[in-house]
Structure 1
Amino acid sequence: MRPLPAALRPRPARTPCGTGFVALCAGLALYAAAATLIVSLVSSPAFTARVPAGPARRYIDEQALEAARVQALAIAAAGEARSRLGLGLDAEADRYGTGLIGEAYSGITTTLGQIEAKRSAATPEAAALLVRLLREAGVSSGAVVAVNASGSFPGFALAAIAACGALDAEARLFLSLGSSSWGANNADFNVVDIVSAAASAFPPEYDYSIVGVSPGGSDDRGLDMDSELLESMIARLEAGGLRVSSPSSLEESVATRAAALDGDGAAAALVNIGGNYASSGADLGLSLATGVVSPGSAEVPPGPGLMQSFMRARKPVVQLLNVRRLYESRGLVFDAPPWDARNARVLYRRTSYALGALLLLPPVALAVVFAARTGRRGRKSEGP
């Protein structure tokens, strides 16, 4: 017996649980989930957190906000220490009165630097940005972060401590005394002095230490610096209990840093601040990198260099150099004043994109329902 043509076959009885009904239920469930999450986020204490000064308020990334607040206190403490030493400020160069902007040239200046980059590093937002970068590099609570810093960006050196502390990570700092122009290039207030002066601003639970110091500059021995100034600085620091190494080669410079920063293999990531001799060795490509350099994202170049050492160990590197490009790539305003609202909107909203996605869920759910109902009507109109 031949089967009936499709057009003459009896249709199954309709039930309330058809395709359209199921899609509608799914859409309503998505809408309810979105509404619940939005309400919980907006009503959370983090959403109502306030910045101590300026227009940047009511943001929800607590770690970035904490780092920024601590950074502001650290900058203030360093500025007060500079004032006590009787070292004046250049009102035009250091227009925000941070005390972290140096001179156009001095006896410990090693290379040319961009003043706008120095000012950008000497802001609370520098610490908030570094929180973002460290999280992207996989740093979390309990991690150890190696920090290799020249004197070129003292603001970033303080930001590294603030960001690691906010993430409940340990910061190990290896500092070099040389600096590009406008950095920590005052022999009486070098990068070690600045970090030490800011110590009172860091909460007692922040775990950080200076694990090594070197001259920096040419060959990491300060060959391009004023020898008398350099010797005076080294003598003063060693009298205070710090040992200043003077390597005889690039290989020794890299090995000294690697041993001090990651001799136990505990470091989860490297933060490289400035372009000191040991950072990337003679490799131009790495010296131009900025932001997070993830393991496997780039071929490890040959030759010695601290960045190369970490990359070979499959550990991420956060490079704080080429600051204008770094800031612009992150949607930040370069050389903006502290607590600038434009940068605050970017840095202190950890879940801004997630909220946007949640707000899109209701219309997406409705679209699903509409598509299901349209498809059902289309099937009804099909002929044999």
Structure 2
Amino acid sequence: MKRTAVYALGLLSLAAFLVLKLAVEKPPAVAEEMRRAADLMSKETAAVRACREAAGLAIEADADVNRTGLIGLQTSPITTSLGNLEAKRTTTNPDFAALVVFLLHQAGVRRGDSVAVGASGSFPALTVAALCAAEILGVRALVIGSLGASEWGANDPRFDWLSLTRCLGRSGGLSFETLALSVGGDGDTGRDMSPRGREMIVEEAGSSGLPFLEEPDLEKNVNLRLALYDRAAGAAGVRAFVNIGGGYANLGTDSEILKLSPGLASFSRLPPAERRGVIFAMAGRGVPVIHLLYIKGLCDRYRLPWDPRPLPFPGKGPLYGLRGGSPGLFLAIAAVYFTLVLGLAFWGIRGGAVRSGED
């Protein structure tokens, strides 16, 4: 009986190894999609650069050292807060589009699914990355964007977040749906920007033809956004939420947000509804959340270079060697394995005890 249990344990271990290997290894098709997304982001960045040049907007080479066109101004009327220039430059790396593909696969998103995107104007390059990833994966990107931005983001009134997405729409390489706009900034009402800057945003949003969210109450603001996402996604619902930057309505006001790691997020608890941003509201529904903030942490976790000069050639680097299985699937398989191991151990001990009693 004991020898049988040992053989069974060996076979079980071999089976578990093979299943886990298949479950966590990134299929070749995923790596290819990651490379394609990075290539597409390179092309879309060139399109943005061309849009800026056509509008007569020079690229400030001292700040935008890689001449991407995705770095804004240090200050402007629509600037909301301080920003880290190195972090903004880091996100212009086309491999961030590859990273979003990797994370969407980890979240279980499949072709034809709807993905909600909450985009702060503070990280325009991450908006480009997310839209490129969605395009390559064949998923619907449902976007709500804010027009205010921190330093070095999409804070140039002549080429803000809405100008950026319109440029991307005209390029012909991306398909996405902009559902609504907001001011952004403190309270999602622009309390931290100049009065003139807020007026400029309100005027632009009013002439855009898009719904404009002006709701200072956090819980109501979040519910408005959820309703827009739900309506656009239809019966199949939202399959993942991608948060870009530190928007008030997306993060909420609870200190729990500070515990959230960048990347595919995991949650220990959910704040009360009155302090809960879209991130936590989606998590409460069981929707996977991809949290694109704390750029240094993202780089460390997913092996991307910090403030590279020049930008890496798309499709190369340690990111493409990461394993891509679902963490939930890994835990489920591990739980089943250890349950069976304990069962075999009990069976072996019990069998040995029975035989001793018979001797």
Shorter-chain TM-score tier: 0.7 to 0.9
Which of these residues, 282, 288, 294, is aligned with residue 253 of structure 2?
A: 282
Q: By how many angstroms is 1:288 displaced?
A: 5.2
Higher deviation after alignment, 226-235 or 117-126: 226-235
Deviations 1:131-185 (A, max 9, x none): 1111111111111100001101000011111101111111000001111111011
1:239 maps to 207
2:224 maps to 256
Q: By how many angstroms is 1:267 displaced?
A: 0.6
- Which protein is richer in helix relative to its size? 2
Q: What is the alpha-carbon distance in structure 2 between the residues aligned to residue 333 and residue 223 of structure 1?
A: 34
Structure 1 contact 109–178 (Cα < 8 Å) conserved: yes
Structure 2 contact 239–287 (Cα < 8 Å) conserved: yes
Return the index of the structure with the highest Cα Rg. 1
Relative distance call for 1:249 and 1:69 in structure 2 (3 A) is same
1:140 aligns with 2:81: no
Q: What is the alpha-carbon distance in structure 2 between the residues aligned to residue 141 and residue 275 of structure 1?
A: 28
Q: What is the alpha-carbon distance in structure 1 between the residues aligned to residue 31 and residue 159 of structure 2?
A: 33
2:355 maps to none
Q: What is the alpha-carbon distance in structure 1 between the residues aligned to residue 46 and residue 175 of structure 2?
A: 20
2:304 maps to 332
Q: By how many angstroms is 1:248 displaced?
A: 3.1
Structure 1 contact 333–343 (Cα < 8 Å) conserved: no
Q: What is the alpha-carbon distance in structure 1 between the residues aligned to residue 282 and residue 200 of structure 2?
A: 33
Instruction: Give 3-state SS (helix, strand or coil) of 1:160's partner.
Output: helix
Structure 1 contact 332–343 (Cα < 8 Å) conserved: no
Deviations 1:34-79 (A, max 9, x none): xxxxxxx9xx9x8xxxxxxxxxxxxx82211111111111111111
Q: By how many angstroms is 1:351 displaced?
A: 7.2
Relative distance call for 1:93 and 1:343 in structure 2 (3 A) is farther
Normalised by the size of structure 1, how large is the TM-score? 0.71
Q: By how many angstroms is 1:328 displaced?
A: 0.9
Unaligned segments of structure 2, at least 5 residues: 1-17, 19-26, 326-359
- Code of the aligned partner of 1:234: V
Q: By how many angstroms is 1:338 displaced?
A: 6.0
2:52 maps to 82
1:347 maps to 319
Q: Percent of counterpart pairs with the same letter?
A: 35
Normalised by the size of structure 2, how large is the TM-score? 0.76
Q: What is the alpha-carbon distance in structure 2 between the residues aligned to residue 217 and residue 257 of structure 1?
A: 16
Q: What is the alpha-carbon distance in structure 1 between the residues aligned to residue 44 and residue 249 of structure 2?
A: 27
- Code of the aligned partner of 1:188: R
Which of these residues, 156, 162, 165, is aligned with residue 192 of structure 1?
A: 162
Instruction: Give 3-state SS (helix, strand or coil) of 2:143's partner.
Output: strand
Mapping for residues 96-175 of structure 1, pairs under 5 Å: 96-175=66-145
Unaligned segments of structure 1, at least 5 residues: 1-29, 31-40, 47-59, 354-384
Q: By how many angstroms is 1:344 displaced?
A: 1.8
Number of residue pairs matched? 297
Relative distance call for 1:232 and 1:344 in structure 2 (3 A) is same
Q: What is the alpha-carbon distance in structure 2 between the residues aligned to residue 337 and residue 65 of structure 1?
A: 20
Q: What is the alpha-carbon distance in structure 2 between the residues aligned to residue 154 and residue 323 of structure 1?
A: 13
1:314 aligns with 2:286: yes
Instruction: Give 3-state SS (helix, strand or coil) of 2:304's partner.
Output: coil
